[in-house]
Amino acid sequence: MNAGSITRRTILRAGLLATVTLGLAGTTRGYAQGSAPMKIGISFNRQSMTATLEDNPSARDFASLLPLDDLSIDNYADNEKISYLPRKLTQEGSGPFGDERAGDLCYYAPWGNLAFFYASYRWSRGLIRLGRLDGGCEPLLIRGKFPLRIARIA
């Protein structure tokens, strides 16, 4: 065998290296596609909630921003509270979803804001579900504008 020949072992090693490299490229600060669901903590006005993020590109992009300490949460309409993110999230892989319900954490792409639903709603163009609150959404019923903190739960 001369130095210019390619063996099956070399091809397999290159394939393995490419797979590992691509897998790491899809990792967003420890939240890789197909990994265990990520839990986040949400706190405002001495209230705390937890949520589980979806496994989609927008949720992974959102996770890459955490922790977020300089947000505020405010009332919008009669079924949600909203908070504006420091930058827009990817919309890759978004589209209509079903089973909308109170407790959904969504991203509204046209405005670049989070939407915390505490009452029923319907999907609309540009709305991407990022996750769901793990418990009740009673803290969201408190009216007013408050400082908001969102962080990963270790």
What pLDDT was estimated at residue 36? 72
What pLDDT was estimated at residue 49? 97
End-to-end Cα distance, the chain: 52
In a domain, 71, yes or no: yes
Q: Is the pLDDT at 64 greater than 80, yes or no?
A: yes
What pLDDT was estimated at residue 37? 85
In a domain, 2, yes or no: no
Provide the residue type at 120 as one letter: S
What pLDDT was estimated at residue 26? 38
Residues 11-28 pLDDT 10s:
444 443 333 333 333 333
CATH at 45 = 2.40.100.20
In a domain, 9, yes or no: no
In a domain, 89, yes or no: yes
In a domain, 124, yes or no: yes
In a domain, 23, yes or no: no
In a domain, 146, yes or no: yes
CA distance 122 to 37: 25
In a domain, 134, yes or no: yes
What pLDDT was estimated at residue 12? 41
Residues 47-61 pLDDT 10s:
999 999 999 999 999
Give the count of domains, the chain.
Answer: 1
Mean pLDDT in residue range 94-106? 95
Mean pLDDT in residue range 41-51? 96
**Better-predicted residue by pLDDT, 4 or 139:** 139
Domain that holds residue 144: 39-152
